[in-house]
Amino acid sequence: MLDSVESLRDRTGEAFREVCRGVQLPYSSVMRWRERRREGLELVSRPGPRKKKPLARSRLDDAIENDLRFGGKRIGGTLMVYDRFREQISRRDYYSLVRATALELEGEQEALKRRIEWLVPGLAWALDDTEKDWLVRYRSFVTLTHDYGSRFAAGVQGDDTKPTGLMTAVMAEGIFSRMNMVPLFAKHDRGSNFMAKELQDLFAENMVIALISPAHYPPYNGAVERAHQDIIRQEDGWIGRGAAASLAFRLACEVSRHEVNHISRSSLGGLTACQMMEEARSFIQAFGRSQRKEAYVRIKELAIDIGAELGEHSDNADETAFRYAAETWMQLNNMIKVTQNGEVLPHFYQIWSH
């Protein structure tokens, strides 16, 4: 929450007191959090004695996901898993993580029934990575930048090195410059290169609103997976069965991007992705800094309301609330349509369904 307030203040140039009033946070609390962070302290002190051992968070997440048995109303194995981590995490925090995981799994099942139709090309881009044995001596990595509304592949970056945050930021900045346009939203998962400071700073500078999705989030990720498959089929055709040299692989990525962008698609009314993106260019270019600021502030206000409905206070819950708030704002502004079994869903449906 503090990072969001500071980011908004940097984007708008307003005083902290005005920013806090806009997002309905107590000014005194924000100042206290900033002071505690400067002193290297926890922003909010937790009750109870401190744990003796540092928390192995990745091992705990794996144990919660793989060793617990999530049923309809019961979760099996919670005490057994907690006993393995009791010296690292409090019982309160442990059960909060378990509840958050249960809600996410329930949300994923509900999400499988939902479909998002993107009505405005150029509005929201997805960044995602994939890898395959296309190279002679190394693993090959591809970073795809995909526009939801037009199905336009804005970037297909191939390399023989796992992308870093700096590499991804340089790639994204190059796409912004080449296309002379910047999306309002950028959706990505929690990959280290996407969460890196370099990329997030680039988004903040260009007032792009980042949406962080779970690893398995069908309403968003289905479109990206299909886009990846289109690219993979094209690359397989250019590279063939044998492994390629690095230069040939990079060229195949660029050629594949061009090919998928110039296929006539029935889902686009017979147009190509390139034609759809060109139709939207003037709208996105006209969406200036004041409109972007207004959108961010309104989404943040909605996220606070949704967070109160969820009743959870954690990084995952905050990300969930912000993602749902962005969806709701886009629905209210006729930028997306959310349906289930052919029926248009009301705003906040995903919140009331929990």
Can you give the CATH number for the domain in which 236 is found? 3.30.420.10
DSSP state at residue 266: G
269/213 same-domain check: yes
In a domain, 51, yes or no: no
- Residues near 325 by Cβ (< 8 Å), separated by ≥ 6? 299, 300, 302, 303, 305, 306
The predicted structure's pLDDT at residue 183: 95
165/281 same-domain check: yes
271/294 same-domain check: no
- Number of structural domains (the chain) is 4
In a domain, 52, yes or no: no
User: With 90 as the cut, is the pLDDT of residue 175 above it?
Assistant: yes
Highest averaged pLDDT of the listed ranges 11-15, 49-53, 266-270, 307-311:
266-270
75/137 same-domain check: no
296/219 same-domain check: no
Asked if 133 and 139 touch (Cβ cutoff 8 Å), the reply is yes
- Residues near 12 by Cβ (< 8 Å), separated by ≥ 6? 19, 293
- Residues near 74 by Cβ (< 8 Å), separated by ≥ 6? none
What integer is the mean pLDDT of 348-352? 45
User: With 50 as the cut, is the pLDDT of residue 335 above it?
Assistant: yes
User: With 90 as the cut, is the pLDDT of residue 164 above it?
Assistant: yes
Structure-model confidence comparison of residues 101 and 202, the more confident one: 202
Domain of residue 82, residue span = 57-111
Lowest-pLDDT range of 9-13, 119-123, 216-220, 318-322: 216-220
pLDDT tens digits for range 31-44: 777 777 776 666 55
8/66 same-domain check: no
Last residue of a domain, one of 269, 285, 301: 285
User: With 90 as the cut, is the pLDDT of residue 27 above it?
Assistant: no
66/137 same-domain check: no
134/183 same-domain check: yes
C-alpha distances in angstroms, 312 versus 58, 93, 260? 21, 11, 42
The predicted structure's pLDDT at residue 45: 53
158/136 same-domain check: yes
In a domain, 48, yes or no: no
248/123 same-domain check: yes
